[in-house]
Amino acid sequence: MGRIFSPGKLLLTSEYFVLDGALALAIPTKPGQEFFFEEIHDRNSEIIWQAYHQEKLWLSIKINYRNWTILDTNMETPAKFVVSVLQHVQDLSNIRFHKENSYFLKTNLQFPPDFGLGSSSTLMNNLAEWAEIDPFLLNGLALGGSGYDIAVAQEKSPILYQTLPENKIMRIEFDPGFKNELIFIHLNQKQDSRDGIALYRSKPRNNELIHELSEITKAVFLAKTIDELTLYMNRHELLISSFLGIETAKEKYFPQYGGFIKSLGAWGGDFVLASKFGDYKKYFSDRNFTRIFEWRDLVL
């Protein structure tokens, strides 16, 4: 049985504005998604699909791909999504789902689905690699978005990413000397990125802000000290908060915290990045935020 792996992702800068060409910095995570595959030489044209969350089965589907009917499943709605994605794979690929052979396909998401590390993007990248197709094209057809998460999954490396005037992906070394001063805290809820994008799209385009966030991204990449990073991250949060008209994660949850707090990705859930300050573990756990990760434990 073959295996493909794609890492998860964290977007450190230019959330939302990456959609309109702002330069963004994104990093891969150690947990990601595995994809196991086996082709069975029969004439049944069936797909047995099993999806696991941290080794626990949550979705099973039996599909006839001659007419794309669901023969059996334990959950109808996610099964329909999988079928729609696999139909795109068939349309784009020259090697998958064109014979009468059957397939056993298994996915294993290594992180909780509420972490927001890219359960969909890692799936798209794994399927694209297996089917020998363009992952950005598959993702565009199935989900949309800026594609930075696909780029991280594909490169398995920190990247600088920009969508306009065309997609640009730059693999970089990003291993800040002050990384031991940084932590990630999960906010105990999953944020729907589509809702965040809808709010962003309701605002007028701001080219000056796109430029400023791109400059902040460059500064974050080149930062040599935690004090420099704190300055850039606080500025970044202020700009996004002002544009969206919503309070920052620090204002909402951690107003007395002495370090910086930076939202990652869609605001309102998933992870934040913070600098260590005082007895930070007690500070966050006293407020019921107990999922705290060191940089070395989460970043690939």
Q: Are 87 and 142 a contacting pair, CB within 8 Å?
A: no
Q: How many CB atoms lie within 10 A of CB 14?
A: 28
Supply 247's token pair: 């309070």
> Does residue 23 have a pLDDT over 90?
yes
**Residue-wise pLDDT tens digits, 42-65:** 989 999 999 999 889 999 999 999
Amino acid letter for position 96: R
Torsion sign (Cα): 188, 193, 197, 199: negative
Instruction: Give the span between the Cα atoms of 21 and 17, in whole angstroms.
Output: 7
pLDDT score, position 95: 95
pLDDT score, position 102: 97
Instruction: Write out 51-98 in H/E/C secondary structure.
Output: EEECCEEEEEEEEECCCCEEEEECCHHHHHHHHHHHHHHHHHCCCCCC
Instruction: Give the span between the Cα atoms of 54 and 16, in whole angstroms.
Output: 29
**Residue-wise pLDDT tens digits, 102-115:** 999 999 999 998 89
Amino acid letter for position 171: R
Closest among 7, 44, 43, 11 to 26, alpha carbons compared: 11
Domains, the chain, in order of start with CATH, read 2-171 (3.30.230.10), 179-298 (3.30.70.890)
- Phi first, then psi, for residue 9 (nearest 5°) are -145, 155
By CB atoms closer than 10 A (0-12, 13-18, 19+), residue 189 is: exposed
Instruction: Give the span between the Cα atoms of 220 and 178, in whole angstroms.
Output: 12
Supply 58's token pair: 């949550």
Considering the entire predicted model, what is its pTM?
Answer: 0.93
Least confident residue range of 8-12, 187-191, 296-300: 187-191
Instruction: Give the span between the Cα atoms of 163 and 147, in whole angstroms.
Output: 8
pLDDT score, position 144: 85
> Does residue 172 have a pLDDT over 80?
yes
Tabulate helix, strand, coil % of the chain (nearest 5). Answer: 40, 25, 35
Confidence of residue 281 (pLDDT cuts 50, 70, 90): very high
Q: Characterise 232 by phi-psi region: left (phi > 0), alpha (psi -120 to 50), beta (else).
A: alpha
Answer whether the bond into residue 204 is a cis peptide, omega within 30°.
no
Closest among 259, 288, 282 to 182, alpha carbons compared: 259
Question: What integer best gives the mean pLDDT of the chain?
Answer: 95
**Residue-wise pLDDT tens digits, 208-223:** 999 999 999 999 999 9
> Does residue 269 have a pLDDT over 90?
no
Answer whether the bond into residue 255 is a cis peptide, omega within 30°.
no
Q: In the 8-state DSSP scheme, what is residue 216?
A: H
> Does residue 268 have a pLDDT over 80?
no
pLDDT score, position 271: 94
- Strand segments (E) across the chain: 2-11, 24-40, 46-53, 56-64, 69-73, 102-109, 159-162, 168-171, 182-186, 261-263, 271-275, 292-294
